[in-house]
Amino acid sequence: MRLRHHLPLRSLPSSPLPPPSPAKKNPIHSPPPLHHLLSLLSRSSTLPHLAQIHGHILPRGLDRDNLLLGKLVHGASLLGFVDYAFSIFKHQEDPDTYLHNTMIRGLSQNGSSKDAIFIFNSIQVVGLRPDTYSFPFVLKAIAHLGMLELGREVHSQVIRIGLGSDIHISSGLIHMYCNCGGIDDARQLFDGIIQRDVVLWNVMIAGYAKVGDLDKARELFDRMPERNVVSWTTMIGGYARLKLSDEAIALFRKMQVEDGIEPDEISLLAVLSACSDLGALDLGEWIHSLINKRGLYKTVPLMNALMDMYAKCGDIARALEVFEKMKNRSVVTWSTMIAGFALNGLGVEALEVFHRMERENVEPNDVTFLAILSACSHIGKTNLGHRYFDCMKSRYRIKPKIEHYGCMVDLLGRAGCLKEAYDLVQNMPFEANEAIWGALLAASRIYGDVGLGEKALVHLIELEPHNSGNYILLSNIYAAQERWDDVRKLRKLMKDRGVKTMPGASSIELDGAVHEFTSRDGSHPCLNRIFEVLCDISRHLRMAGYVPNICGVPFDFE
């Protein structure tokens, strides 16, 4: 069965960088031998180097050697000059399967997935036959495009040719099915393979982690006959992405104790994310020392994650220390530092970092402005927030996303500009989501605006009907104004809709152990000591002149 191709190859220049003119023959110097040219190609690191070698190949008739041209195509693709690579391939009169495979690989690795599929189809058009190297490359391209039906056609072709038992092709097929939404097809294929290597196990586990089915991913992980760092990292990253931070950290510790595997950069990134979410400062500090010990402090994404962890754990001084020591900073680095200050209520410091960023001619992105608007919200600078919101559009040509409008609604709501916030929601070019209506509802509770609170709840019930927090916020507005009949009606509405109130929870990491607390839970062994400390803090606050505002204390539904 021949694949049907509906993906036209984009127009590529026939000669984006013509090779230099052939030099005049020198009778003294003989042309470099083939093995010497292959060695030069393997060491070439710039396009002019490749073009110079190309210039040696053409006048000597070596352009008919598919192996040599394949190395040239591969070298150009590795450097990202896929147009130049394609021009070499296109001018070869009789490309063999190896040259086709090299071109498919280069296109798929450079994001030209449609073109890679077209070249794969052309293998059969010219009377050749795809081999064990053709299929993994084209399956990667299909996975990138998410074309499940095309992937199934390629799978049927694999079976017809008799390559169904090839472990590399099977791995590519499983990856393709997982990426294209065919997780059940992937599992069926996986279960039918008798000899499975660690790569195949990892691909299947990663597929389950990608769709969020960590129970099945863990079931396979526990069954693995052998694991490598990729196996552990896949599971740790899966837990971290779903905010199952306890499990992520526990598995990270288990990786080191049971298998003695050294974590790589990717696993450190994943566990730092879990530390940020859980507030596990002790473990984060240990990872920081490991990063320094292994000389990974030059890895920008890792240092960004370290800054984020310190900021979210409340140690903004250490986050700033990491920032100042970084020699290479990306826009993510600057945005993370700004967001860290904003998160810790240090809006002025956040704006100072932004001004410094501008002075160093670093172009901000949409995430940077989310952090800036958040900083303005924390310090109550409504006019400044408006100015940055307009600056983002006019100066930096960044189109505001719904998250930016959400920040503006939060900024206006905190400042008590409820009508302006509501008008912004009504006029923005998006349908308001639960975060925006939630911000309006929270602002309504702070300022006792029953009418706006009711409007917000109507939309929130549609968007997240089983979120008890929304009902409770409005009930607090009613209770603050002693509208007890409305409180009872709201409680009945919750009961009729089957909405259950979930107890609030918080957690803290201490000496390597995570302590979780939920409301109305008196099971912690140190509870009496905890209350003593809280009372002591409260006493010191009163002595300093703090008077609590109990109007907004949540009304207990139970």
Residue pLDDT tens, the chain, 558 long: 334 444 443 433 333 444 444 444 444 344 455 556 666 666 565 667 666 666 666 655 556 666 777 777 777 777 777 787 777 787 777 788 888 888 888 888 888 889 889 989 888 888 888 888 889 999 999 999 999 999 999 999 999 989 888 889 999 999 999 999 999 999 999 999 888 899 999 999 999 999 999 999 999 999 999 999 999 999 999 999 998 988 999 999 899 887 778 888 999 999 999 999 888 888 999 999 999 998 888 889 999 999 999 999 999 999 999 999 999 999 999 999 999 999 998 999 999 999 999 999 999 999 999 999 999 988 888 999 999 999 998 999 999 999 999 999 999 998 889 999 999 999 999 898 888 988 888 888 888 888 888 888 888 888 887 777 777 777 877 787 778 887 788 788 878 777 777 666 676 666 656 677 776 666 777 778 888 888 888 888 888 887 766 554 544 544
Examine the domain organization and report whether 312 and 339 are in the same domain: no
Examine the domain organization and report whether 497 and 517 are in the same domain: yes
Report if residue 72 sits inside a domain: no
Report if residue 5 sits inside a domain: no
- For the CA atoms of 61, 65, 66, 71, what is the dihedral angle to 10 degrees? -90
Handedness of CA 71, 74, 79, 85 (dihedral sign): positive
Distance CA(311)–CA(337), nearest Å, equals 8
Q: What are phi and psi of 516, to 5 degrees?
A: -110, 140
Report if residue 373 sits inside a domain: yes
Distance CA(307)–CA(276), nearest Å, equals 10
Q: How many CA atoms lie within 13 A of 72 on its CB side?
A: 31
By residue range, what is the domain housing residue 352? 329-400
Query: Hey, how many other C-beta atoms are within 10 angstroms of the C-beta on 472?
Result: 20
Examine the domain organization and report whether 380 and 429 are in the same domain: no
Number of domains in the chain: 3
Handedness of CA 15, 19, 23, 25 (dihedral sign): negative
Distance CA(16)–CA(232), nearest Å, equals 44
Examine the domain organization and report whether 534 and 507 are in the same domain: yes
Amino acid at 43: R
pTM summary value? 0.74
Q: What is the CATH number of the domain that holds 532?
A: 1.25.40
**DSSP 8-state class, residue 257:** I
Distance CA(276)–CA(240), nearest Å, equals 10
Report if residue 9 sits inside a domain: no
Distance CA(260)–CA(526), nearest Å, equals 34
Residues β-bridged to residue 518:
505
Single residue among 288, 303, 328 that ends a domain in this structure: 328
Distance CA(466)–CA(219), nearest Å, equals 30
Report how far Cα 292 is from the mean position of its chain's Cα atoms: 25
Give the H/E segment covering residue 507.
Answer: strand 505-510
Examine the domain organization and report whether 346 and 375 are in the same domain: yes
